[in-house]
Structure 1
Amino acid sequence: MSNITHARPQDKGRRGAVLAVALGFGMMTTLISAASNAQEVPPVNASQTRAPNPSETLTARQQAIVPIAAFAAAGDIARLNAALERGLDAGLTVSEAKEILVQLYAYAGFPRSLNALAGLMKVLEARKQRGVHDVPGSGPSRAVPQGDALLAAGTANQTRLAGAPVRGALFDFAPAIDEYLKTHLFGDIFERDNLDWQSRELATVGMLSALPGAESQLQAHMRISMNVGLTAGQLRQLVQVLGDHVDADSARRANEALARHLAHLSGSS
């Protein structure tokens, strides 16, 4: 990973802690209601997304992201290590695997993220000892903005992902969390372009599916996943991957969230 200058360490620690609280109290529900009133939203940066697969199936690489994210969020390091092995074999670079596990802390906290990254280190060392040469990948292609420019970039990213400007009573009640979300999650993290937005959303849905009590956020990220180009067919396959490789509860939560979102799109809810 390249050395990119970010916000001050003390600010990032504070932002991460508050971010986890906001995600637990229905922040993404606001995204759904705001996006439903969208007028005209700038398109997502093409360099951050991958074109939808015409066959409506996820690639092996994309499928591998889902259990990695779910096991990391659940804190199941033994199964995470096996999923990381499969992901690296399926074409994930070391850089991409790191990005998934760094992003994890915004949804499941620093302890789970740190433990998962430590697990990745051990997996990579074991593979190296076996003579496996994993592709390092690359760091972000540009420096992450700072100050007012970071807030502007994060606000634009959040709007594109959600489908509309994000506002609501929660952010009026606690404006600090609005700033932290825009500058850190949608700024510091989503400005890092060495993991495309479709991959970040596959990871986020995998994480939230493994976390009981995050159903409203999970449904919102089904919407965001489709906003960045993933199809209903690909998301149905994501549910199948959870059922086949993670557990029935995670698959059920994802399936119910996807069904609610598709019903909303069809006007039946």
Structure 2
Amino acid sequence: MNRIEKSQETYKQLFGNGVPAAYATDPDFQDILSRFIFGEVFSQGKLDNKQRELITLVVLATNQTLPQLKAHTHAALNVGLTPVEIKEAIYQCAPYLGFPKTLNAIGEINEVFKARNIALPLESQKQVEEDNRLDKGLAVQVEIFGDIIAKMRESAPVDQKHIQDYLSAFCFGDFYTRGGLDLKTRELLTLCIVSCLGGCENQVKAHVRGSLNVGNDKETMITAITQCLPYVGFPRTLNALSCINEIIPEK
């Protein structure tokens, strides 16, 4: 298939038989958009449409492009993602975006779930308690990043050690330990989230290492960042690719 045929087939899989509203007012622009996103980007690399939609959801949440987030929540369900997988991907955004933006995204997703008669709340995926969230979070953190975590915690200034505890207990304990998504997927989504935030190159490099440690190879990371491109543009995409190439040089 050429890219026009690919775009039409992929769009139908994601959104059904409808026609984008922009064709009524901006047909040239919509052709460029559809043929690039659905005719090229969606077929680059080896990720399946479920993985691509999870990435798209967290990128749209990061951007706070909420109408598109709602549309892609429908698409995510259409390609077979479960409500739990969708919600967990968005919950994963909270440590990096903050609560207000994450709540905005949750609100849009809940509207889609209600429209599709998906009962809320979903089954809890919580796997920590108050007395073990720090320890379990720290264990996951070490699994992803290795011995550097102990050094990072030890070297933190006294008046900033609480931030290291928050990082372990909140970011990794409250979220990374949850069910619904495996560690490999969560870390790949986190790489995409921080890649879409400006000025986070140090964190991008750290999560390239982390993603590699949990089993995502360079090709997978490049495909994931490519999936982000239509939604964040070339500057941030090229910055992320530069970080990947620095941590995992070409052979």
TM range (shorter): 0.7 to 0.9
Match of 1:11 in 2: none
Q: TM-score, normalised by structure 1?
A: 0.68
- Number of equivalent positions: 203
Match of 2:128 in 1: 144
Change in Cα spacing, 1:73 to 1:240, as seen in structure 2 (3 Å) is: same
Is the 1:67–1:206 contact (alpha carbons within 8 Å) kept by the matching residues of 2?
no
- The percent of aligned pairs where both chains have the same amino acid is 28
Given candidates 87, 90, 109, the residue that maps to 2:98 is 109
Is the 1:155–1:186 contact (alpha carbons within 8 Å) kept by the matching residues of 2?
yes
Paired with 1:246 and 1:64, the residues of 2 have a C-alpha distance of: 15
What's the CA shift for 1:190? 1.5
Whichever of the two has the greater Rg, that structure is: 2
Given candidates 172, 176, 180, the residue that maps to 1:194 is 180
- Provide the aligned C-alpha RMSD in A: 2.4
Change in Cα spacing, 1:227 to 1:101, as seen in structure 2 (3 Å) is: same
Change in Cα spacing, 1:163 to 1:57, as seen in structure 2 (3 Å) is: farther
Q: TM-score, normalised by structure 2?
A: 0.72
Given candidates 233, 251, 255, the residue that maps to 2:237 is 251
Kindly provide the amino acid, as one letter, of the partner of residue 72 in structure 2: A
Kindly provide the amino acid, as one letter, of the partner of residue 130 in structure 2: Q
Is the 1:63–1:241 contact (alpha carbons within 8 Å) kept by the matching residues of 2?
yes
Change in Cα spacing, 1:250 to 1:86, as seen in structure 2 (3 Å) is: farther
1:155 aligns with 2:138: yes
Is the 1:68–1:84 contact (alpha carbons within 8 Å) kept by the matching residues of 2?
yes
Match of 1:49 in 2: none
Paired with 1:123 and 1:63, the residues of 2 have a C-alpha distance of: 19
What's the CA shift for 1:137? 7.5
Change in Cα spacing, 1:196 to 1:137, as seen in structure 2 (3 Å) is: farther
Kindly provide the amino acid, as one letter, of the partner of residue 145 in structure 1: E
Match of 1:51 in 2: none
What's the CA shift for 1:143? 3.8
Is the 1:77–1:119 contact (alpha carbons within 8 Å) kept by the matching residues of 2?
yes
Secondary structure, in 3 states, of the residue corresponding to 1:192? Answer: coil
Stretches (4+) displaced over 6 A: none
Kindly provide the amino acid, as one letter, of the partner of residue 193 in structure 1: G
Paired with 1:85 and 1:206, the residues of 2 have a C-alpha distance of: 21
Match of 1:225 in 2: 211
Paired with 1:88 and 1:199, the residues of 2 have a C-alpha distance of: 18
Kindly provide the amino acid, as one letter, of the partner of residue 169 in structure 2: T
What's the CA shift for 1:162? 0.5
Paired with 2:236 and 2:109, the residues of 1 have a C-alpha distance of: 22
Kindly provide the amino acid, as one letter, of the partner of residue 59 in structure 1: D
Change in Cα spacing, 1:171 to 1:104, as seen in structure 2 (3 Å) is: farther
What's the CA shift for 1:121? 1.1
| Higher share of residues assigned helix | 2
